[in-house]
Amino acid sequence: DIQMTQSPSVLSASVGDRVTLNCKASQNINKYLNWYQQKLGEAPKLLIYNTNNLQTGIPSRFSGSGSGTDYTLTISSLQPEDVATYFCFQHNSWPLTFGSGTKLEIK
């Protein structure tokens, strides 16, 4: 199984900061990597699919990059409504696997 490791597990930043969340796969996942945002008590929401494709309706301050085993989600200017847990998800091979999440907080 492909293990997905996210770092950091908790990130505290100020409004307006540029923040970067990391996701590392235990093997090459060929850019088949999605990012989800989950706010407290809500279902996950798709932000980015296949590494760098912004889902319709998602603000342009969110972007994704990466290749091989290393991927990042960047928020260019953190907003209060971005407080949430962010999960990466590989769909390169079965079984599909999620990272353990990065909890993003506002300082």
Contact between 93 and another protein per CB under 8 A: no
Give DSSP secondary structure letters for 42-82.
S--EEEEETTTEEPTT--TTEEEEEETTEEEEEESS--GGG
Is residue 101 part of the contact set for another protein (CB under 8 A)? yes
Could you say whether residue 99 binds another protein (CB under 8 A)? yes
State which residue, 72 or 97, has the beta carbon closest to another protein: 97
**What type of residue is 93?**
S
Distance CA 88, CA 79 (A): 20
Q: Name residues contacting another protein, limited to 34-53 (CB under 8 A).
A: 34, 36, 38, 42-46, 49-50
Where do contacts with another protein occur on this chain (CB under 8 A)?
32, 34, 36, 38, 42-46, 49-50, 55, 87, 89, 91, 94-101
